[in-house]
Amino acid sequence: MKGVRHYPGFLAMAVACLVILYAPLIVVTGYSFNGSTSITTWGGFSWRWYADVFTGPDAPRFKAAAWNSITIAILAATTATAIAVAASVAMIRGGRFKGKSATFALINLPLMVPEIVTAVATLIFFSAIGLTTGYMTILIAHITFCIPFAYLPIAARLQGIEETYEQAARDLYATRAQAFRLILLPLMMPGILSGFLLAFIISLDDFIITNFVKGAGMETLPTAIFGSVKQGIKPNIMAISTMMLAVSVLFVTLSYLVNRIGQRTRS
């Protein structure tokens, strides 16, 4: 059997995919270190646009947006993870119950529904119940669509944990709550961390839904960046984008590593 490298067209396909996927990112990252004010001509290596993000004329706006983004991401990911833990225990340890497949579909629905549809629907819903759009509405929307992202790694982890651990704990005089807290929760922890990190990054990056439900004057990083770009692309946008990219890569890598360590400790 020959390796995949020998498949006809492998090289062309691979190069095309890599270029299409990553060339834009490389350009943005590269030009974020551009010394000149132009976004197309290279003026030597410089950190000036990174400094500009923190101290330039747009700095207060970006700082406020970053604060919103980060606090919303932490709150939304935490809440979504807690809900996902409860949901996964019910789904995987709850035995058979009526409407189980329907529940599974409901939990994961946000993954399938086009984001724009969710965005419009959420906005209509909030105005129907008379909720003023702002920080709260962003947070609620983020919790909702973060749940499936937190649920999937947690459920996958729980699926791999044999029920006999909890039975052994119950057998050794642990109450249901003690068996959950002392045995199941620690064993699920890699999945829970991984789910949290994924939910965090999904919340941090979201644009479409946020843009619909944020209300006037409220910005998160993605909407702030979009707002700036509308007035013309300045190199400081590339710097801030690069920083977001770095945070995303860091979190996804962490999530992956945590999961892998978890795999190893599973007996």
Partner 1 sequence: MSTAIDIRSVVKRYGTATALHGVSLSIADNEFFTLLGPSGCGKTTLLRCIAGFEDVTEGEIRLFGQNIAGLDPNHRPVNTVFQQYALFPHMSVLENVAFGLKMKGVSLSDRTARAGRMLEMVHLSAFADRLPAQLSGGQQQRVALARALAPEPKVLLLDEPLSALDLKLRQAMRVELKTLQEQTGITFIFVTHDQEEALTMSDRIAVMSQGRVQQIGTARDIYEAPVNRFVADFIGETNLLEVTVDRIEGGIARVTLPGGHTITCPTAATTPGKHHISIRPERLSISAAGDLTATVERVVYLGTDLQLLARLTTGEEFHIRLQNSARAQVPAPGSTVALHLEEGAARLLAD
Contact residues: partner 1, CB under 8 A: 162, 164-165, 167-176, 178, 183, 186-187, 265-267
Which CB atom, from 48 or from 170, has the smaller least distance to partner 1? 170
Q: Which residue has the tokens 């590269």?
A: 30
Three-state SS at 107: helix
Which CB atom, from 41 or from 164, has the smaller least distance to partner 1? 164
Least CB distance to partner 1 at residue 127 (A): 48
Gyration radius of the chain over CA positions: 22
Q: Which residue has the tokens 């999937």?
A: 152
Which CB atom, from 63 or from 100, has the smaller least distance to partner 1? 100
Token digits for 112? 């399938």
Least CB distance to partner 1 at residue 266 (A): 7
DSSP 4: G
Least CB distance to partner 1 at residue 263 (A): 12
Token digits for 122? 């959420």
Which CB atom, from 38 or from 162, has the smaller least distance to partner 1? 162
* Sequence-distant (≥ 6) Cβ neighbours of residue 26 within 8 angstroms: none
Helix axis angle for 135-159 and 100-112, nearest 10°, is 120
9: alpha, beta or left? (left if phi > 0; alpha if psi -120 to 50)? left
Which CB atom, from 37 or from 265, has the smaller least distance to partner 1? 265
Give the sign of the dihedral formed by CA 149, CA 107, CA 85, CA 188. negative
Least CB distance to partner 1 at residue 219 (A): 43
Least CB distance to partner 1 at residue 92 (A): 17
Least CB distance to partner 1 at residue 190 (A): 11
Which CB atom, from 112 or from 177, has the smaller least distance to partner 1? 177
DSSP string, 211-227: HHHS-TT---HHHHHHH
